[in-house]
Amino acid sequence: MSARVRRRRRLAVFVSAVVLVAAVVTTVSVIAATRGGSDAAAAPSAAASSSAAPIPSATPLTASQQLLETTDDPQACAVSFAGEGVADEPMLQTQGVLYSGLPIPQRDGLVFAGWYATPADAAAFAIPSRLNGSELVACTDQQITLHGSWKTPDENAAENAQIPIMMYHQFTTRPEGEDGWLRGNYAYIGDFDAHMNHIATGGFYLPTWDELSAFIDGRLWLPTHSVIITDDDADQTWFDLAAPVVDKYKLLATSFMITAYRQDAAPNPYVLRRSHTNDMHQAGANGQGRMVNWTADEIAADLEASAAVLGVKEVIAYPYGHYNDTAKQGVSQAGFELARTIEPGYVSIGTDKLALPVIRVNYGMNVDAITSLIG
């Protein structure tokens, strides 16, 4: 068979197939028209329907939602920040844990006045609604927004805040106190409960250490009615008697721990473990503490060891309250920003960050005595 004949036959088959398809389409159209009548004619084509009702595009995720996409933690909370002059990005916190590392924004010619629960609270500087690292994180649908506020430098100076750092040591259940030369160190637990109740019900604000540092710099406004609660040595009576009272009243407190002697976990969510050095709470060659006998390098190494246990560098308490310029150098060299003495006084704007004064609490101080000291 020649090539021409083969081409003619293939053409004939193709034409026959086209005719057959056309006939089928015509038949189907006639049947549809007969059955559907005018309704069939009125029905929009698929293309027309598609153009009339476009599929909506997905709503973009907010910055907080994007942040939550990065974690599978059901307790995660995306914290957003709002307010005039506030440009801080959202951050993840953990519900049921104290807020940590909240930003302290800076703005030319103004002083940050804290984070608040609502815009109205921020405008009113409502201290009961001011949120910081003394509060447990609690949010709805894993999200919360904090609202910032500002004061002028003149307003900040006019507040003239004098922040007391309360210093406790040991505790006793004996109203008559303990015997021996350390008697004054032992606060009666009934008095301690009364002190904490006074703070909890008296409208006090409890600054964190990073807030205290910013306050000293003049970058953060703290209300006059502020107080910081601390305990030295992390004595067993602190764990057994005092820490449950702190937990009862939900008050932020700092326990200065000698990490060579004990490394206990925090007894409740409101207790911060901070450094009382690793192993410098001992007398040195001249009878005073090692803090004023060692070199800056030796001090820094000891504090590094303490920080490795506690997992934080922020503030230390000088053992026995002993310190000098070399001690301050060692503290700074180790990366700590603040250091607390046993010298009496209050923290104000411009206070030496490496020589923070305290309000010492001795046995026999009832709530009236404390009120006269902290307001």
User: What are the boundaries of each domain within the chain?
Assistant: 63-152, 160-374
- Whole-angstrom Cα distance, residue 341 to residue 95? 34
- Whole-angstrom Cα distance, residue 353 to residue 306? 20
Q: Is 321 left (phi over 0), alpha (psi -120 to 50) or beta?
A: left
Helical H segments across the chain, by residue range: 3-42, 46-52, 63-68, 119-124, 153-159, 189-201, 209-216, 236-237, 243-249, 296-310, 325-333, 367-374
- Whole-angstrom Cα distance, residue 237 to residue 171? 5
- Whole-angstrom Cα distance, residue 168 to residue 246? 13
- Whole-angstrom Cα distance, residue 3 to residue 279? 105
- Whole-angstrom Cα distance, residue 70 to residue 220? 32
pLDDT, tens digit, for every residue of 95-121? 999 999 999 999 999 999 999 999 999
Strand ordering across the sheet containing 143-151: 91-94, 76-82, 143-151, 111-116, 130-131
Of 142, 140, 119, the C-alpha closest to 129 is 119
Q: How much is the pLDDT for 51? A: 56
CATH number assigned to the domain covering 160-374: 3.20.20.370
pLDDT, tens digit, for every residue of 196-253? 999 999 999 999 999 999 999 999 999 999 999 999 999 999 999 999 999 999 999 9
Q: Name the helix (H) or strand (E) containing 273.
A: strand 271-275
Confidence of residue 285 (pLDDT cuts 50, 70, 90): confident
Mean pLDDT of 129-143: 97
Mean pLDDT of 121-145: 97
Lookup: tokens for 275:
């450094």
Mean pLDDT of 345-363: 98
Of 337, 133, 166, the C-alpha closest to 255 is 166
- Whole-angstrom Cα distance, residue 292 to residue 324? 6
Of 154, 149, 152, the C-alpha closest to 86 is 149
pLDDT of 306 strictly over 70: yes
Same fold, 63-152 and 160-374: no
Q: How much is the pLDDT for 29? A: 45
CATH number assigned to the domain covering 63-152: 2.60.40.4270
pTM given for the model:
0.84
Lookup: tokens for 65:
């939602």
Helical H segments across 112-233, by residue range: 119-124, 153-159, 189-201, 209-216
Mean pLDDT, the chain, whole residue set: 89
- Whole-angstrom Cα distance, residue 361 to residue 370? 8
Lookup: tokens for 15:
């034409």
Query: Quick check: 98 and 270 in contact, CB under 8 A?
Result: yes
pLDDT of 352 strictly over 80: yes
